[in-house]
Structure 1
């Protein structure tokens, strides 16, 4: 019975981790795509082709990497917290 409870806890932890990793992959696709679309329509509206497209695409790539960095920091904080609890320390 105790083993079954531990398996459920570990499974939930890994499912949460896989969800976060999947979200990180989506950040790398959606942020540049949104930046490119916004830049394209602003270029079309203001007649500044291709400068706003390029600018917003680069900003989207930067935003994607920042989102991945934030998610990675969240995973690392959770891992450090679990390690501290496992070793009997509380920070």
Structure 2
């Protein structure tokens, strides 16, 4: 059942689920990277809490930028098959 050939109609659903999962991960990871960088810079420079706040905001902004870019790629990929059918 799980190891046999998959129905080709299942592929778009699996691709969509993978894209949605990667979007969520990108947002979470970039936020935590910004948080971690800010935390350790504050400890190193003694600027508590300013670097933490700045890098947290930068991490969140980077996460939203990644989400936006991934959404645009998904929209373009979704439009491409429809445009091909219209040209036939």
Measured on the aligned residues, the alpha-carbon RMSD in Å equals: 1.4
Q: Report the Cα offset of residue 9 of structure 1.
A: 2.3
Query: 2:38 aligns to what?
Result: 39
Normalization by structure 2: what TM-score?
A: 0.87
Name the TM-score, length of structure 1 as normaliser. Answer: 0.84
SS at 2:87 equivalent? coil
Alignment partners' CA distance in 2, 1:47 and 1:10? 56
Q: What stretches of structure 2 of length at least 5 have no aligned partner?
A: 1-5
What's the counterpart of residue 87 of structure 1? 86
1:15 aligns with 2:14: yes
1:48-68: CA deviations, max 9, x gaps?
100000000000000000000
Count of residue correspondences:
83
- Runs of 4+, deviation exceeding 3 Å: none
Tell me by how many angstroms 1:88 deviates: 2.8
